[in-house]
């Protein structure tokens, strides 16, 4: 094997012999010219940024208008997660379940080995030790990613705690998730993201897009962590964590799961309506994407955001829709696939302003005139990667090693007619049922077909690392552990429409009006009325002053169309049938009770 140069000495950073042996074995396979261990120092990161600019991997933006910001462009074929080429490689196919792509571990390793063989020749392998969660906290889990991408290194430096403190926490024998990533040729036909839960291993090749290449994200924090959580008695969830402070200074925390395009980051960084701000209401963001939840010593459910940054979709973010997001991305941010306004050398995306730049480069790097071009300047999935500390509404508890206590869990989807604005589940089992039947309807912009229902239980369909029926069973077991301390569970739908297809609810900051009712329910301070689907607020219990929503519209938003729900029951039953005998009986019973309630005639 060729001699590989090591820029820094790993033995000075760690005495973890198994880790050193694993890195050496992957280097022998991929054959990089150099190996660089990421120690977390500012000097090293600054040097790597300068190197990325010199190679063209990054473009430095206007230091006055967007200080510390950079732009990265991916290959045109490499702009999103590739669910069809993402695999769970456990020993038995039935343990992966019907909603995951599966391949036997030995078969996948045999397929991947030739793709990695010599793929880093002429490149540097970077070794990134990182922590999901506050280092040395009860929640913390560790990983080491090997990559030939500077973009990955610099993104991981934003998204995680990393470097020497992680190696110190690992010590000589600590457990870690092995993450091997290689850009290789960015060949979409040979692109794979493979997870080996039994080995705590992730292997990704032929992509340099964030969700496929930053293996701390969905790969570790959800797919691998969900398996760890099941065996260790905790939950890894695709959820934001939000604190709501009322005028009395009381803060209650909720964790919320939404499928894509349903406003998760918008809710995480919600700006209260002016009237609420005047009264003293405040929002505290703990996290916008991932929540790890466990039963605390006091018997309550506690949640922690394992990430240290934000990786969000930027198109559509404007001063109206996301002022806190704009503040977050205003500095020290790595943009991916936005347009570049050449007049002032800044990142630009659709929604940022009403007047697109006339003199710009689009996300592909081609000349672009926003006033004349029929094409969009930013790619639809363009991203921002920002430090969590940039967020103006960041919770002071975000680094509490114990996490924050959860009063409410919220599920939601995009339904034009079926789901009401909000309902509360009757108990924990009913809440798991509500999460298991979560769905969103497609829009014309997404698929060309409107109203196609896609089930996405707990917003985890693409991210659960094992059979989803077993995942629901784990949720039920967690409820049994919590007992009377279980949070209340709610379902929301910000996307109910009238007969003309117009949204009935204004969304964004106005969603606080619904959160207020939920949290008053948690404190035993609000009433509710029964319905076949769950407990609904009385119309007088949602504050509409200044919202622009009429009481009649609210009645529509809270109405239950039993015929539509009966159709939905049939769809749910077909979805459940995919899981056969592994489906928990409690969920089958909840579906039966829903159907019975819908068929019950008024007395």
Supply the residues annotated as catalytic.
Answer: 262
Q: Check the annotation: does 185 bind a ligand.
A: no
In whole angstroms, what is the distance from residue 34 CA to residue 258 CA?
A: 42
Q: Check the annotation: does 289 bind a ligand.
A: yes
Q: Check the annotation: does 382 bind a ligand.
A: yes
Q: How far is CA 267 from CA 288, 385, 548, in A?
A: 8, 18, 19
| Cβ contact 126:147 at 8 Å | yes
Q: Check the annotation: does 377 bind a ligand.
A: no
Q: Check the annotation: does 238 bind a ligand.
A: yes
Q: Check the annotation: does 97 bind a ligand.
A: no
List own/partner pairs for 506-510 with CB under 8 A and 24 or more apart: 506/547, 506/548, 506/549, 507/263, 507/266, 508/263, 508/266, 508/270, 508/271, 508/320, 508/321, 508/322, 509/270, 509/271, 509/272, 509/273, 510/273, 510/547, 510/549
Q: Quick one: which of 261, 303, 271, 268 has its CA closest to 289?
A: 268
Q: Check the annotation: does 337 bind a ligand.
A: no
Q: What's the token pair of residue 484? A: 């009377």
Q: What's the token pair of residue 54? A: 């010199």
Per the listing, tokens 């200080």 go with 67
Q: What is the DSSP string of 344-404?
A: TTEEE-TTS-SS--SSEE-TTS-EE-TTT-SS-SS-TT-EEEEEGGG-TTB-TTTT-TT-E
Q: Check the annotation: does 218 bind a ligand.
A: yes
Q: Check the annotation: does 287 bind a ligand.
A: no
Q: Check the annotation: does 211 bind a ligand.
A: yes
Residues paired with 287 in a beta bridge: 241
Q: Check the annotation: does 566 bind a ligand.
A: no
Instruction: State the greatest distance between any 2 C-alpha atoms of the chain, in Å, as a whole number.
Output: 84
Nearest 5°: CA angle at 229, between 224 and 233? 165
Q: Residues annotated as binding site for GTP?
A: 383, 414, 508-511
- Residue ranges at the known binding site for Mn(2+): 218, 238, 289
Binding residues for substrate: 81, 209-211, 260, 381-383
For the annotated binding site, the residues are: 81, 209-211, 218, 238, 260, 289, 381-383, 414, 508-511
């Amino acid at each position: 094997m060729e001699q590989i140069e090591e820029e820094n000495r790993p033995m000075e950073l760690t005495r973890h012999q198994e880790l050193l042996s694993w890195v050496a074995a992957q280097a022998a396979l991929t054959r990089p010219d150099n190996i660089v261990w990421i120690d977390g120092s500012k000097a090293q990161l600054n040097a790597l940024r300068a190197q990325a600019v010199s190679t063209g991997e990054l473009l430095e933006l206007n230091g006055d208008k967007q200080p510390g910001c950079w732009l990265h462009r991916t290959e045109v074929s490499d702009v999103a997660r590739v669910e069809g080429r993402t695999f769970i490689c456990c020993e038995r196919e039935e343990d992966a379940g019907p909603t995951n792509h599966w391949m036997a571990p030995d078969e996948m390793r045999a397929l991947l080995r030739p793709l990695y063989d010599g793929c880093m020749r002429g490149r540097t392998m970077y070794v990134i030790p990182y922590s999901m969660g506050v280092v040395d906290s009860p929640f913390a889990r560790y990983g080491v990613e090997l990559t030939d991408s500077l973009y990955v290194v610099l993104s991981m430096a934003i998204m995680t705690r990393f470097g020497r403190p992680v190696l110190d926490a690992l010590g000589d024998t600590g457990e870690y998730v092995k993450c091997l990533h290689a850009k290789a040729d960015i060949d979409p036909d040979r692109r794979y993201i493979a997870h080996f839960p039994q080995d705590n291993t992730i292997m990704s090749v032929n992509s340099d897009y964030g969700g496929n290449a930053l293996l701390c994200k969905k790969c570790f924090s959800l797919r691998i962590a969900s398996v760890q959580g099941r065996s260790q008695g905790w939950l890894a969830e695709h959820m934001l964590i939000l604190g709501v402070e009322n005028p009395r200074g009381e803060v209650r925390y909720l964790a919320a799961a939404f499928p894509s395009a349903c406003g998760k980051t918008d809710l995480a960084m919600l700006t209260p309506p002016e009237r609420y701000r005047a009264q003293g209401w405040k929002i505290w963001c703990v996290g916008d994407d991932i929540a790890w939840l466990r039963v605390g010593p006091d018997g309550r459910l506690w949640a922690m955001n394992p990430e240290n940054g934000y990786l969000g979709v930027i198109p559509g973010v404007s001063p109206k829709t996301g002022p806190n997001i704009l503040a977050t991305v205003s500095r020290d941010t790595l943009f991916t696939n936005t347009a570049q306004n050449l007049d002032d050398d800044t990142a630009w995306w659709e929604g940022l302003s009403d007047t697109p730049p006339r003199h710009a480069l689009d996300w592909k790097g081609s000349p672009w005139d926003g006033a004349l071009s029929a094409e969009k300047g930013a790619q639809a999935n363009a991203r921002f990667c920002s430090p969590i500390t940039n967020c103006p509404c960041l919770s002071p508890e975000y680094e509490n090693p114990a996490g924050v206590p959860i009063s409410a869990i919220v599920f939601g989807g995009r339904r034009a007619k079926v789901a009401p604005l909000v309902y509360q589940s009757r108990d924990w089992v009913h809440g798991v049922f509500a999460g298991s039947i979560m769905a969103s309807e497609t829009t014309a912009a997404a698929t060309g077909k409107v109203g196609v229902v896609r089930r996405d239980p707990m917003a985890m369909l693409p991210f659960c690392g094992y059979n989803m029926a077993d995942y629901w069973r784990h949720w039920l077991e967690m409820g049994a552990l919590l007992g009377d301390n279980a949070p209340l569970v709610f379902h929301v739908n910000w996307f109910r429409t009238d007969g003309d297809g117009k949204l009935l609810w204004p969304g964004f900051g106005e969603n606080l009006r619904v959160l207020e009712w939920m949290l008053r329910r948690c404190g035993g301070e609000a009433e509710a009325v029964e319905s076949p689907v769950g407990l609904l607020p009385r119309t007088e219990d949602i504050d509409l002053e200044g919202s622009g929503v009429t009481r009649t519209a609210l009645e529509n938003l809270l109405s239950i169309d039993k015929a539509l729900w009966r159709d939905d029951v049939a769809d749910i039953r077909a979805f459940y049938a995919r899981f056969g005998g592994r489906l928990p009986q409690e969920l089958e019973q909840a579906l039966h009770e829903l159907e019975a309630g819908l068929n019950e005639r008024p007395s």
